[in-house]
Amino acid sequence: MHWFSTGLLIALSAGTAAWAGWLLRRLFVVEPVAAPGPGPDPERDPDDHHTEEQTP
C-alpha cells in the first residue's frame, strides 16, 4: 500500500508544480500589442486651419 501512497504523492507534487508553472507563466507573459494602423499624423494639428500659402 505504501507504493500507492508514494505514487500518489509524486503525482500530486508533479500536478502542483505544473499548476504553479502555469500560474507563473500567466503572470509574466504579456500578449503582444497590435501595431498601430495608419491614422492621423501626430505632427499635424487638426485644429490648425491656416494654410502655408502666401497671401498677396
Distance, in Å, from the CA atom of 55 to the CA atom of 5, rounded to the nearest integer, reads 93
pLDDT band, residue 2 (cuts 50/70/90): confident
Convert the pLDDT of each residue in 11-33 to its tens digit.
999 999 999 999 999 999 888 77
Query: What's the CA gap between 12 and 14, in Å, rounded?
Result: 5
Give the pLDDT of residue 24: 95
Give the distance, in angstroms, between the CA of residue 42 and the centroid of all CA atoms in the same chain: 25
Global confidence as pTM = 0.50
User: Given pLDDT bands bounded at 50, 70 and 90, which one contains residue 38?
Assistant: confident
Q: Which residues contact 46 (CB under 8 A, 6 or more apart)?
A: 40
Grouping H, G, I as helix, E, B as strand and the rest as coil, residue 13 is helix
Per the prediction, the chain carries an average pLDDT of 81
First to last CA, the chain: 103
